[in-house]
Structure 1
Amino acid sequence: MPAPTVRFLLVLDADSTLIRNEVIELLADEAGRSAEVTAATEAAMRGDVDFASSLRSRVSALAGVPVTAFARVLARVEPTPGARELIAAVHERGGRVGVVSGGFHEILDTVAPQLGVDIWRANRLTTRDDTLVGSVDGAIVDAEAKAAALREWAAEAAVPLTRTIAVGDGANDLRMMAVAALGLAFNAKPTVRAQADLIIDRVDLREVIPLLP
């Protein structure tokens, strides 16, 4: 029996889009370095600094955090209002949902399937002796990697780019939003709002449902 045809692809950012939190800030709490990491995250999301360099710097602040902290962080993660409803609506219409994140697989691998996400990609943290080393394992998921993921997932599902939607809040989402047929700024920084096709101010992902094909 042939695989069902995928009608369209919706790709979301994770932190501050699919979920309300910035996971790296929650992890920084565990290291007692929340204030400095929060400030650095804000700068990266505004586009003031290079994302990859900023992420390496912020992850270095996590050195020494035990991997047992992931369970505590997961307990604090809050899905954005409307996340489940949006994902269900995409599936009802024959679409697929992807999440591509500058955050971490260690959290997204639990959160994404719980919410019904079909495919996801994020960074991985290097560990040694059940402790974070303070570095990213492998290539960093930056703006270009997000755009590449959207293209790749669309090709795999035989979905033309004209039937893709990207949703994000930070400067590192702009390239995937430009690749997609519709780029939505959700609860977004001014740089993103200025370049998006549409702006969604209300922090409720159900606002995206009327825009689905």
Structure 2
Amino acid sequence: MIPHDPDEINRLIGAFTDLQEHWENDPDAFDWSRLEALARAGAHAYNECCGPSFHALALDGIQHGEFHERFLAYSLNADFDPFKLSKAGNTAEEIPVIDHASLADSALWNPSSARMHASLMELARQRFAPLADEIRRSNPPSSHPLFMTVEACAESLPVDLLERISPELAREHHGEARKQSVDPIEGYLSAAEVVVESNTKPYG
């Protein structure tokens, strides 16, 4: 695709919406290869300086299901970088290309979101664990080039890894205060339910 082309983003999200409607209407007959092809086409559609990324438009703030779970998996396989920071406008500050906080909140009660969140945590461990001590040794840690990324995507870093980098960030993004900020009407999966749901594979 043409980098940072908002028209291309519109075409991608239009195709995504069409495929989602096909899946909702007849999930058993849905051709997953079409979604995989779309994920490859939009893997780097970050829409820098022009608005939200393709992935933010597709995944943020919605109730996730198998369709979204597969889309994220296909996107990651196509080298989508969920920890990339991007400007949504010409003067806006850099933000993650997906909303990690929203996904972490959804993961507390939605099994698909929980598996999506787990996949990002696994990727975060691979990405940031080798650099954790280096970041923390920086004086101050916030001066390290990756600290801004860690802070912006903190909800998708495993708590033990985040504690190695910054105990303050770990308390802020994984502590009781954060859990209490989630809408209590949604409820939570118990620890046992999380284990059961995480072992339930929606697809092979």
Asked if these proteins are the same fold (TM beyond 0.5), I'd say no
Larger Rg: 2
| Greater strand content | 1
| Greater helix content | 2
Higher RCO structure, 1 or 2 (CA under 8 Å, sep 6+): 1
Q: State the TM-score, normalizing by the size of structure 1.
A: 0.28
